[in-house]
Amino acid sequence: MIVRRVLKRLRIPPAPLRDSDTSERQFLRTQAAAMLACDFFHVNCAVALKRIYVFFVLEVATRYIHILGTTTHPDGPWTTHKPETL
């Protein structure tokens, strides 16, 4: 509702109709180069008897995985830290 008012106030016309034949699969293929997916997984370490959490990012286009960090105690600051490189 707010977006509509702002667009009307700035006299920005509505977006053109989009192609109805564009499928989700086609959209993902065209956007894959810029898409990243991130998630956590855990590994149960038998030697240390601890669960290790791993934060990773997947480049969708190349399916390359970047490990951004590991910890035994994930918390808010750890999950939102800024990695040095990607």
Q: Is 52 exposed, middle or buried (CB count within 10 Å of its CB: 0-12, 13-18, 19+)? A: middle
Per the CB < 8 A criterion, the answer to whether 85 and 64 are in contact is no
Residue 78, H or E segment: helix 76-79
This prediction has a pTM of 0.57
Digit-coded pLDDT (tens) for 14-73: 776 555 566 778 877 788 888 889 999 999 988 889 999 999 999 988 889 999 889 999
For tokens 């990695």, what's the residue? 83
